[in-house]
Structure 1
């Protein structure tokens, strides 16, 4: 029987350029899609084997109705021991809900570009990171950041400019990824052009980024490992 995944879309558009909800289905999961940004949530978490939280233009610290509701959902899911994974804003709201609203802050400048993210010792035996050798190479783009100093967080990867790029909550099946391993090389070129104005404002050279677009295949193993975990829950 297919693992049942709750997919919460937190963006202005329900489906991002990465179409990760479709990929989760292609990896064998039954995906229930809800557009949280538009106030759509399931009536119950019963029966879910995993939950995924997408990115968002919002900050996890904002008093926006869907964000407040999502905080409650995360805490309920943690009590039910449902595996969870969040990317970008998804990582930030997991940190905010489980480790405190002051765990997420707005940086003084944006971190943007393709980067090698060195792994910590804990990553070598981590369920999601164990296939990655030395560094997780991926595109990162964030103005908000999750602090790295909480005792309930295990940092798994970092960058030269951000001490918490990938983390796990306690010893639970709950992970946050600040960067964007989900975006393929082809999708990246489209994404960069669609967001040219915003990315240039954040300090990016779009033509250079498009030339450097990368599949980030090794980092994507974190996503397939999560899908396997949900499948086998």
Structure 2
């Protein structure tokens, strides 16, 4: 397979570092679409062909259960792509969006999950190839997947929520493997306007040291592993696609 061509569905609202962060982490050709501004790629052809090898969905400041026209369009697109066996990876909001679009349920949490958190891997999925049983990643979310789509496998979690799932070549991760330390600090600082305890925010910022952030390098390997899945799926018709979990 030549260098994979990834469609990045940037669901973040307004100017954010989302596109920059994903381009840095994805060792692939990336074409970005600001879906929150109703910018979409062409739909797959009648023969099932699509201009891209896979799709990645970013985080967002919205909730997946908001009723926005662009979300309805994105839901229709990801359902079509899933039926065609196109590999997809959703991150944070994207994780929740894929779960909901494919039949799962997302709801508000009772307490914001924010900061560097330990995550337990449950399953020998290719997305977590060569991962330890536990790893550290940065979290920032107030919604969670409370029910997975039928047939989906929960791949990882912690004491707060489901942290990863798979459904064929479709994957979601609740944590942010794409964040650099600058994004961690700016996103955390931005939470002051959302009613989170200032002392809690200060504690997360104090924890955001280069040494602490270096612990998230394992989590970032999901991108490399996802591209390995993309290569394995390349050219196979949907009914023959097998992704072990």
1: CA distance between counterparts of 2:67 and 2:182?
A: 35
2: CA distance between counterparts of 1:34 and 1:149?
A: 26
How many pairs does the alignment contain?
222
Residues 14, 42 of structure 1: alpha-carbon distance in 2 compared, 3 angstrom cutoff: farther
Q: In structure 1, what is the equivalent of residue 121 of structure 2?
A: 119
Q: In structure 1, what is the equivalent of residue 187 of structure 2?
A: 191
SS of 2:102's equivalent in the other structure is helix
Q: In structure 2, what is the equivalent of residue 74 of structure 1?
A: 78
CA RMSD of aligned residues (A): 2.1
1:57 equivalent in alignment to 2:61: yes
Give the conservation status (yes or no) of the 8 Å contact 1:113–1:204. Answer: no
Shift of 1:152: 1.8
1: CA distance between counterparts of 2:164 and 2:14?
A: 25
Q: In structure 1, what is the equivalent of residue 224 of structure 2?
A: 224
Q: In structure 2, what is the equivalent of residue 20 of structure 1?
A: 21
2: CA distance between counterparts of 1:208 and 1:66?
A: 36
Give the conservation status (yes or no) of the 8 Å contact 2:154–2:164. Answer: yes
Gaps of 5+ in 2: 45-49, 235-245
Shift of 1:69: 0.6
Shift of 1:112: 1.8
- Equivalent position to 1:174, from 146, 150, 170: 170
1: CA distance between counterparts of 2:129 and 2:199?
A: 31
Shift of 1:199: 6.0
Gaps of 5+ in 1: none
2: CA distance between counterparts of 1:21 and 1:140?
A: 16
Q: Normalising by structure 1, report the TM-score.
A: 0.86
Shift of 1:48: 1.2
CA-to-aligned-CA distance 1:10-65 (integer Å, 9 cap, x gap): 0113542572332255x1x1211110000100122412110000111111112100
1:126-165 to 2 correspondences below 5 Å: 126-148=125-147, 150-162=149-161, 164-165=162-163
Q: In structure 1, what is the equivalent of residue 110 of structure 2?
A: 108
Q: Normalising by structure 2, report the TM-score.
A: 0.82
